[in-house]
């Protein structure tokens, strides 16, 4: 049964209200998930509202939904009135629980080949002629500045009859939809296409359109009425100062983008097209998604904006284009003269202006080296990840399914360091059966073969990852409540089913079972006892058992845990947020929740020291494993295995082969004594690409 059907709270004045759904989206219902929700809501005839406490919004209006200012963990209900209300509530509640089509775990970044440790700084005096910003898209480019300013669109203040002005508005909305469709057809990456699809939804937003029509019917001309309507909605989002979600305020840019397109059509002017010369690096206060999607990528080398952030739609488009980009760059960039030669270093977040001839030469040399290194890494992908002094590191992959496991093997992966089993439990109304789970796990094992390691993590949900069919109690602090193994221990029948399914892969690969979010020895012992019973019943007793190190208590008691576990795998993303008490998805704190902070590095060191005392191995499966800057330090602290994003395997293996274990140890001991993440990153900058 659907979520709503199992817990309808009854009708009030003919309206039905569904059960509360905890919002899983890390950044709330911004434009793309809101657009997906609206697209589904419009399939139903009923009047549908999205309710959060005393606040509510029209579920068929993207603008209204974004205006709620939702955040991760908000409890939402779907209310509907009409003949198909029950079906609408069930479908929309399920979509909300599933994240409205948004990937709920941040995709692991694709690491690129780092330079040799001996490489000098890119420019001779970076502090003098470099402007800093936030990396929106990595990469390196040398080009000349093109400054861009939006043109002012002037519309006629006086109009014809209300009926005639309404016809003009409707025609402009239709024409704008066709323009965006043409832009969308030119994009290969699906993420970019979804952004523009959300813009098309805005053009049909009932609340926005009705506000503009109301102005027209009060004898305003179409242009001023539309301008007032979209500016009002944009300002509403940008004024959400009470919300902790700065990303929503950025969505005002999406509304302004759509609004200006329609306004240009009403004014009878061509939508501003940015004319670029060859080898351009664009500088702007703000770029809209439409601006970015329409840029001539054969001429554009990169861009910088003084607004926005790494999660903005413009940043997503830049990454899909594969060009370097900075957001929130120093506003001095707007004063740089047209045609100024610059070096844009996306990975390090720097725009070098007035570089010397030698600086330019170094940049070109580095770009050539990067291209050559990537090709070489592919040809050497199957070589062992052996340090220069013979110390071996296992480079394995984080995967979700057999397809990704096969890709990992093809790229030289030594196995799977993290199989996220929750992918089988997502996007459904009931838990998967033992047979269904076993088939998926066995497929991954078959892709690896009996000589490669397969680490399967048991179900890791709760907190930011709820399941629609697994109701968990409302918690004020869900990240400190029922998460990871605690959920499994609360649901022993489901836990036993999963363990039996996992055990059926024994012998097909080198099976390791890993429990997530272990904080106490009691949790480990309880989970192991259940596993021992199921293993004994199935006859598959030769299985390694490990734990995720994600909370400080596990790191601090690593030696005690090492007496009872066969291995550790460090989840650096969660370990960072729990060590620093900073939500890694928080828009204001995310940049400070840095895994390079010395306190986090010391937690990793304690884990490795405790494991070493009992001869146990330690892996890292969090984001730091794929980060070239982190790899030397992790190895120096005693990590044996790096479980990385699949595309990163060749680059990380190549880096390992350039390192000395003794040098890594010295480096690790040096940086762990530093006081801030900034200091650590500065020391490790030579490994950045």
Count of domains forming the chain: 4
pLDDT for position 155: 80
100 as an active site residue: the answer is: no
What are the CA-CA distances from residue 518 to residues 215, 416, 489, 554, 642 (Å)? Answer: 59, 21, 11, 7, 20
417 and 453 co-located in one domain: yes
Residues 70 and 12 in one domain: yes
SS3 letters for 159-204? CCCHHHHHHHHHHHHHHHHHHHHHHHHCCCCHHHHHHHHHHHHHHC
Residue 261 lies in a domain: yes
Examine the domain organization and report whether 394 and 359 are in the same domain: no
* In-domain check, residue 104: no
Give me the pLDDT at residue 499, please: 96
Spatial distance between the Cα atoms of 308 and 253, rounded to a whole number of angstroms? 9
Rounded CA separation 57/49 (Å): 5
Q: Provide the pLDDT confidence category of residue 464 given band limits of 50, 70 and 90.
A: low
Confidence of residue 107 (pLDDT cuts 50, 70, 90): very low
Do 638 and 680 fall into the same domain? yes
How many CB atoms within 10 Å of residue 405?
26
Q: Residue 468's pLDDT is what?
A: 64
How far is 104 from 94, CA to CA, in rounded Å?
A: 15
Ramachandran quadrant class, 574 (left: phi over 0; alpha: psi -120 to 50; beta: rest): alpha
CATH number for 317: 3.50.30.10
Of 267, 296, 311, the residue at which a domain comes to its end is: 267
- Choosing from 30, 199, 313, 540, the catalytic residue is 313
* CA pseudo-torsion sign 378, 382, 388, 394: positive
How far is Cα 186 from Cα 388, in angstroms, rounded to an integer?
46
Is the domain of 89 the same as that of 130? no
**In sequence order, which residues have a C-beta less than 8 Å from that of residue 97 and are 6 or more positions away?**
3, 21, 22, 24, 466, 467, 468
- Given a cut of 80, whether residue 29 has pLDDT beyond it is yes
Say whether both 291 and 247 belong to one domain: no
For residue 241, pLDDT over 60 is answered with no
Write the CB contacts of 176 (distance below 8 Å, at least 6 apart in sequence). 203, 258, 261, 262, 265
Higher pLDDT, 36 or 510: 510
Q: Residue 453, SS3?
A: strand
The residue with greater pLDDT, 184 or 189, is 184
The model's confidence at residue 552, banded by pLDDT at 50, 70 and 90, is very high
Domain membership of residue 327 (yes or no) is: yes
Cα 665 to the center of its chain, rounded Å: 32
| Domain assignment of residue 152, yes or no | no
Residue 45: count of CB within 10 angstroms of its CB? 12
> Does 139 map to a domain?
yes
Marked catalytic residue, from 327, 621, 640, 664? 621
Cα-based angle 405, 411, 415 (whole degrees, multiple of 5): 45
**Residues 86, 87, 88, 94: what is their CA dihedral angle, to the nearest 10 degrees?**
110
Instruction: Give the span between the Cα atoms of 44 and 668, in whole angstroms.
Output: 59
- Residues 6 or more apart in contact with residue 145 via CB below 8 angstroms: 280, 281, 282, 283, 336, 337, 338, 339, 340, 342, 353
Residues 83 and 192 in one domain: no
Most confident of 9-13, 185-189, 359-363: 359-363
Contact between 569 and 417 (Cβ < 8 Å): yes
Answer whether residue 539 shows pLDDT above 80: yes
Angstrom distance (rounded) from CA 574 to CA 514: 16
> What whole-number percentage of the chain has pLDDT above 90?
36
Q: Which of 247, 267, 287 marks a domain boundary? A: 267
| Domain assignment of residue 641, given as a range | 387-687
- Asked whether the beta carbons of 58 and 67 are under 8 A apart, the reply is no
Percent of the chain at pLDDT > 70 equals 85
The answer, yes or no, to whether residue 583 has pLDDT greater than 50, is: yes
Residues 549 and 646 in one domain: yes
Mean pLDDT confidence for 544-559: 96
pLDDT on residue 641: 97
| Pick from 524, 502, 525: nearest CA to 454 | 502
The CATH number linked to 9 is: 3.30.1340.10
pLDDT at 515 over 90: yes
202: left (phi over 0), alpha (psi -120 to 50) or beta: alpha
Measured CA to CA, the distance from residue 295 to residue 306 in angstroms comes to 18
For the record, the structure tokens of 390 come out as 């013979």
Beta bridge partners of 144: 280, 341
Dihedral of CA 334/339/343/345: which sign? positive
- Is position 313 annotated as part of the catalytic site? yes
User: Does residue 378 lie within any of the structural domains?
Assistant: no
What backbone torsions phi and psi does residue 135 show, to the nearest 5 degrees?
A: -65, 115
In a domain, 117, yes or no: no
Question: Do 50 and 139 belong together in one domain?
Answer: no
Strand pairing category for 453-457 and 510-515: parallel
- Pick from 218, 243, 267: which residue ends a domain? 267
Cβ 61 vs Cβ 37: under 8 Å: no
Average pLDDT over residues 212-238: 85
354 and 473 inside one domain: no
Question: For the chain, first and last CA: distance in Å?
Answer: 50
Rounded-to-integer distance, Cα 557 and Cα 548, Å: 13
Model pLDDT, residue 7: 39
Query: Residue 72 in 3-state DSSP?
Result: coil
Of the candidates 77, 419, 63, the one whose C-alpha atom is nearest the C-alpha of residue 209 is 63
For residue 476, what pLDDT band results from cuts at 50, 70 and 90? low
Q: Are residues 247 and 307 in the same domain?
A: no
Strands (E), 29-108: 47-52, 55-58, 75-81
Instruction: Indicate the pLDDT class of residue 191, thresholds 50, 70 and 90.
Output: low
Angle subtended by helix axes 190-203 and 31-41, to nearest 10: 60
Residues 259, 299: one domain? no
Inter-CA distances, 435 with 84, 401, 499, 505, Å: 35, 16, 12, 12
Give tens-digit pLDDT for 44-92. 999 999 999 888 989 988 778 887 878 888 899 999 999 888 889 988 9
Residues of 514-528 as b/e, b for ≥16 C-beta within 10 angstroms? bbbbbbebebbebbb
Higher pLDDT, 640 or 217: 640
Distance of CA 193 to the CA centre of its chain: 17
User: CA-based Rg of the chain, rounded to a whole angstrom?
Assistant: 27
Mean pLDDT of the chain: 83
CATH number at residue 246: 1.10.274.10
398 domain residue, yes or no: yes
SS3 state at 134? strand
pLDDT of residue 569: 97
């Amino acid at each position: 049964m659907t979520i709503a059907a199992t817990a309808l709270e009854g009708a009030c004045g003919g309206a039905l209200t569904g059960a509360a759904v905890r919002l899983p989206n890390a950044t709330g219902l911004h434009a793309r998930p809101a657009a997906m929700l609206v697209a589904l809501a419009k399939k139903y005839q009923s009047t549908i509202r999205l309710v959060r406490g005393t606040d509510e919004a029209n579920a068929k209006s993207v603008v209204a939904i974004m205006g709620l200012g939702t955040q991760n963990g908000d409890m939402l209900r779907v209310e509907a009135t009409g003949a198909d209300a029950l079906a609408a509530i069930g479908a929309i509640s399920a979509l909300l629980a599933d994240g409205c089509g948004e990937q709920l775990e941040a995709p692991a970044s694709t690491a690129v080949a780092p330079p040799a440790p001996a490489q000098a700084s890119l420019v001779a005096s970076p502090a003098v002629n470099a402007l800093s910003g936030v990396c929106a898209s990595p990469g390196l480019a040398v080009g000349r500045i093109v400054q861009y300013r939006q043109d002012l669109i002037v519309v006629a203040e006086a109009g014809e009859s209300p009926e005639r002005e309404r016809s003009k508005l409707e025609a402009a909305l239709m024409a704008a939809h066709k323009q965006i469709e043409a832009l969308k057809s030119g994009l290969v990456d699906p993420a970019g296409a979804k952004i523009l699809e959300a813009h098309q939804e805005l053009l049909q937003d009932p609340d926005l359109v009705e506000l503009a029509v109301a102005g027209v019917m009060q004898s305003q001309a179409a242009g001023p009425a539309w301008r007032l309507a979209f500016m009002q909605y944009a300002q509403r989002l940008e004024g959400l100062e009470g919300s902790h979600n700065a990303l929503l305020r950025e969505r005002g840019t999406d509304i302004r983008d759509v609004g200006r397109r329609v306004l240009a059509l009403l004014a009878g002017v061509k939508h501003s097209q940015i004319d670029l010369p060859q080898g351009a690096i664009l500088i702007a206060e703000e770029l809209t998604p439409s601006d970015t999607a329409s840029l001539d990528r054969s001429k554009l080398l990169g861009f910088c904006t003084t607004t926005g952030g790494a999660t903005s739609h413009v940043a997503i488009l830049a990454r899909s284009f594969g060009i370097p980009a900075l957001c929130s760059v120093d506003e001095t960039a707007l004063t740089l003269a047209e045609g100024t030669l610059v070096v844009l270093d996306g990975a390090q977040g720097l725009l070098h202006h007035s570089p010397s001839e030698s600086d330019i030469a170094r940049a070109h040399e580095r770009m050539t080296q990067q291209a050559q290194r990537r090709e070489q890494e592919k040809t050497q992908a199957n070589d062992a990840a052996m340090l220069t002094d013979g110390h071996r590191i296992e480079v394995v992959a984080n995967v979700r399914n057999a397809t990704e496991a096969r890709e990992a093997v093809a790229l030289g992966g030594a196995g799977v360091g993290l199989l996220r089993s929750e992918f089988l439990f997502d996007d459904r109304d009931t838990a998967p059966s033992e047979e269904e789970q076993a088939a998926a796990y066995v497929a991954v094992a078959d892709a690896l073969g009996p000589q490669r390691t397969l680490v399967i993590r048991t179900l890791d949900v709760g907190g930011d990852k709820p399941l629609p069919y697994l109701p968990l109690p409302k918690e004020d602090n869900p990240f400190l409540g029922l998460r990871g193994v605690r959920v499994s221990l609360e649901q022993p029948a489901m836990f036993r089913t999963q363990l039996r399914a996992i055990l059926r892969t024994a012998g097909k690969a080198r099976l390791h079972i890993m429990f997530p979010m272990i904080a106490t020895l009691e949790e480990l012992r309880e989970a192991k006892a259940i596993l021992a019973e199921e293993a004994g019943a199935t006859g598959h007793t030769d299985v390694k058992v490990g734990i995720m190190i994600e909370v400080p208590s596990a790191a601090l008691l690593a030696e005690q845990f090492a007496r009872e576990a066969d291995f550790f795998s460090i989840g650096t993303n969660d370990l960072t947020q729990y060590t620093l008490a900073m939500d890694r998805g928080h828009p204001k704190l995310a940049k400070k929740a840095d895994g390079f902070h010395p306190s986090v590095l010391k937690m990793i060191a304690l884990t490795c020291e405790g494991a070493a005392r009992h001869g146990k191995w330690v892996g890292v499966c969090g984001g730091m494993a794929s980060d070239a800057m982190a790899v030397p330090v992790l190895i120096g602290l005693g990590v044996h295995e790096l479980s990385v994003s699949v595309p990163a395997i060749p680059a990380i293996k190549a880096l390992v082969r350039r390192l000395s274990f003794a040098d890594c140890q010295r480096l690790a001991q040096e940086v762990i004594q530093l006081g801030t993440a900034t200091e650590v990153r500065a020391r490790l900058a030579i490994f950045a690409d």
